[in-house]
Structure 1
């Protein structure tokens, strides 16, 4: 697949955000915030009775999409803003579109708008710069 401005990155889906993974990630990160494993803590802050996914896990879904598209080690820069929380058992999809192609020190790079969406609404938005591994000449336009 030739990467060019306007190319749509194949989406990457997480059909069921697992509360068990959130609890495991909280332990790995040594994250003491109970909203990632204690439903009562979430309810106490007025967000219902579902635990909240960690930001790094939400970010990893976008990184998974980029690596599935251009391979391991392709991400050169990633800047995102976090929106509404992702909750246990949500279905989310990472999406993206190429907005620019550049040559940096002999390496083709694509600048991409990226998003993590739930029900078509963004929960994470940002910009990624990715090494393009397809070897094709970019069509900039």
Structure 2
């Protein structure tokens, strides 16, 4: 996307695609986040808890996918505010697509609806953001 003068409410943001959520990335993020929860690291723990048969992606990674989508759509922007709600888990191997739509443009402030969809299961995270461009 370009400057504020060329965008308008209703415009779609280019998707940010994660072709396959990586368990190696989950392991790395468990260190960054100081989050050693075994549901992110050990399939056997996930199975024992009745949560499926794949490692579960950390929530902050899912939010980062949304942030990456915004930063790619508006290079150099600043995220002024953002909220999101977790609707379902993202699992290792999932193909996830972060996307959004502009809901308002006021000067250099752009408001957007955001969502993270997983192939075959729909929206797993949804929210809003206001960015400064």
SS in 2 for 1:40: helix
Residue 55 of structure 2 corresponds to residue 51 of structure 1: yes
Aligned residues: 128
Segments ≥4 residues shifted beyond 3 Å: none
Q: Which has the larger radius of gyration?
A: 1
**Aligned-pair RMSD on alpha carbons?**
1.2
Q: Which moved more, 1:69-78 or 1:20-29?
A: 69-78
Kindly state the Cα deviation for residue 74 of structure 1 after the two structures are TM-superposed: 2.3
* Partner of residue 98, structure 1: 102
Residue-by-residue CA offset, 1:14-37 (whole Å, 9 max, x unaligned)? 001000110111122111211000
* Partner of residue 70, structure 1: 74
Kindly state the Cα deviation for residue 3 of structure 1 after the two structures are TM-superposed: 1.1
Q: Distance in 1 between matches of 2:132 and 2:14?
A: 16
SS in 1 for 2:111: strand
**Structure 1 residue ranges without an equivalent (≥5):** 133-141
* Partner of residue 124, structure 1: 125
Kindly state the Cα deviation for residue 113 of structure 1 after the two structures are TM-superposed: 0.3
**Structure 2 residue ranges without an equivalent (≥5):** none
Q: Distance in 2 between matches of 1:129 and 1:64?
A: 14
Q: Distance in 2 between matches of 1:91 and 1:55?
A: 15
Kindly state the Cα deviation for residue 47 of structure 1 after the two structures are TM-superposed: 1.6
Q: Which moved more, 1:115-124 or 1:5-14?
A: 115-124
Q: Distance in 2 between matches of 1:4 and 1:58?
A: 26
Residue-by-residue CA offset, 1:61-98 (whole Å, 9 max, x unaligned)? 11111001111342111100011100001000001001
